Each structure stands twice: as structure tokens, then as C-alpha cells.
A and B are shown apart, each in its own frame.
Chain A
Amino acid sequence: GQQVMQIPQYQHVQEGEDFTTYCNSSTTLSNIQWYKQRPGGHPVFLIQLVKSGEVKKQKRLTFQFGEAKKNSSLHITATQTTEVGTYFCAGRRGGATNKLIFGTGTLLAVQP
């Protein structure tokens, strides 16, 4: 079945350092979404990417969708302590499917 892996599983950074999480799918995706889950919370939508090679920015967050539409990345510049949590990518295969398959997640810890 479709698998979506993320690396690293865990990243600990000092406040102000950069952070990147990488997402890789075993199958080509029609679109990819990113979610953030605070500790003890629920996933909250961040962004969706649809086009091959697409790059989107939200303030200090940069999201990228690979040319082959099988991988994606999220980069945070100058992390803040409020950005702690687990970041999940979630992809949908093409065709008649509604389901988003979540990646394994990257837990970000930010030390002040």
C-alpha cells in the first residue's frame, strides 16, 4: 500500500536555528498537505501543494513539492518556541480516492 515517510523522526533545535523536515511517498501524489499537531492537540492544516515543483511560503515557513510529486519538504527559518509540535505531511494518490495518507511525522523541539 501507499507509504509516506518523514525524516527526521525528531529534531531538537535552539531557538533561532532553522529546521527542515522531508516527506517521501512510495507513490506519485496528486497533492500534498501539511499539518501541525501541538503536543496533546489535534492536527491543524497549514498548506496544500498541488503542482510539480511548487513552492509556497507562509512567513518563515517554506513548503516545497518535488518535481516528480513524490516528495515534499517544510523548512522553518529561525524557529520560535511556539513552533514546537509534530509536523505531518499528508498525501493523496491520483485517481478516485478521497483519502489522505499521513506521513510518519517529525517532532520538533525548540529550546529557548
Chain B
Amino acid sequence: EPEVTQTPSHQVTQMGQEVILRCVPISNHLYFYWYRQILGQKVEFLVSFYNNEISEKSEIFDDQFSVERPDGSNFTLKIRSTKLEDSAMYFCASSAQGGGTGELFFGEGSRLTVL
């Protein structure tokens, strides 16, 4: 069964450092998302991406965050200068249908720990 893959599974970084989280969505999907989940809390929407551009972003997704689809297969989330409160599990998801009507397939997540 096709799946979304994410790397790294865990990253520890110092506050102020840049972090890049990588995702390989399911190959025929066109809609991509990043969500994050602080331990034990709800899954928070960060950004959606379609046709090589951001279609929506949340208030959390400020200028420190950026996304890119550099080569047609990878989908990356960059945090320019990490803060302690960025510590969370970051989930990438993809779907075949847009408009929030399609099933989201989530990767296993990248746990980010900012010290």
C-alpha cells in the first residue's frame, strides 16, 4: 500500500538553528499538508500546498516557516530559526482530492525537539 514517508523520525536541535523536515507524499497525490501535534494535544493545521504554491496557511505558519517541493517528489518544511515552542511532532499528509474532501494520508511524523 502506498504511504507517505517522512525523515528524520527525530531531530534534536538548538534554539535558533534551522531545521528542514522532509516528506515524500504518495506519488499520484496533488495536495500536500503539514500539521503539527504538541505532545498529547490536538493536530494543528500549518499549511496546505497545491500546484507548487501555498494554498492556505494558519497563524502558526509565520515568516519563520517555509515549504517547498524542490524536485517533484519531496515536500519540505523549513523552520528558519527554531524556538523552544516549535518542539512538536510534525506530520506531513497528502491527498488525491482537494477542497478538504479527500482522505488525508499521514506520514509517521518527525519529532522535533528544540533545546
- Which residues of A pack against B, CB within 8 Å? 1, 30-31, 33, 35, 37, 41-45, 48, 50, 88, 90, 92, 97-105
Instruction: Scan residues 51-106 of chain B and give those whose CB is less than 8 A from a CB of chain A.
Output: 55-56, 58-59, 91, 98-101, 103-106
Chain A CB within 10 A, most for which of B31, B43, B48, B103: B43
Provided the pairs A101-B45, A105-B42 are in contact, do residues A45 and B105 lie with their beta carbons within 8 angstroms? yes
Interface-centre pick from A45, A92, A100, A104 (highest chain B CB count, 10 A): A100
Residues of B close to A1: CB separation below 8 A? 59
Interface size on B, residues (CB 8 A): 25
Whether the pair A48, B101 counts as a contact (CB closer than 8 A) is yes
Which listed residue, A30, A42, A45, A100, touches B91 by the CB 8 Å rule? A42
- B103 and A33: CB pair below 8 A? yes
State whether A102 touches B43 (Cβ < 8 A): yes
Instruction: Check A97 against B100 for contact (C-beta < 8 Å).
Output: yes
Chain B positions within 8 Å of A, measured between CB atoms, are 31, 33, 35, 42-45, 48, 50, 55-56, 58-59, 91, 98-101, 103-109
Complex interface: chain B residues within 8 A of A100 (CB):
45, 100, 104
Contact indicator A88/B100 (Cβ below 8 Å): no
User: Is A99 a contact of B48 with CB atoms below 8 Å?
Assistant: yes
